Amino acid sequence: MGKKISIDLDDGDDEIIEAQPVKENKVAAMAARLPSAHKARIQALKEAERVQFSFTQIPKPIKTMFEKEAERRGMLLKEYLFHCLKAGGLDIPDYSEIDGRRR
């Protein structure tokens, strides 16, 4: 059978080299994947402060139509509102991408 080869890699230097923390490691920093502008925007919206958004005193038939249409489409009211805003030309991501409950 074949012979076993033994290689001694000890260079005689017993000095201990401490590893750099990850944040200071230049190789890790260069290799870190940068997020896309789209993902960064979505993350910013997802983590943005939440505020109350409501309309006062709209005709009840309009509110009922809104609720029925959201239900027909299988959407929550907020999700349907976002859908309508997007359809109106606002540049906002899909509701599922910025849902604050999924942080």
Residue 91 lies in a domain: yes
In-domain check, residue 85: yes
Question: Does residue 20 fall inside a structural domain?
Answer: no
**Structural domains in the chain (count):** 1
Number of CB atoms found within 10 A of residue 80's CB: 19
- Structure confidence at residue 103 (pLDDT): 45
pLDDT of residue 66: 96
- Asked whether residue 1 is assigned to any structural domain, the reply reads no
When mean pLDDT is compared over 20-24, 84-88, 90-94, 96-100, the highest value belongs to 84-88
Q: Look at residue 100 and tell me if it is in a domain.
A: yes
**29/99: higher pLDDT:** 99
Residue 61 covered by a domain:
yes
Residue 47 maps to a domain: no
Which one-letter amino acid corresponds to residue 32? A
- pTM for the model: 0.57
* Spatial separation of the C-alpha atoms in residues 80 and 82, rounded to whole Å: 5
Asked if residue 66 belongs to a domain, the reply is: yes
Domain of residue 76 covers 57-103
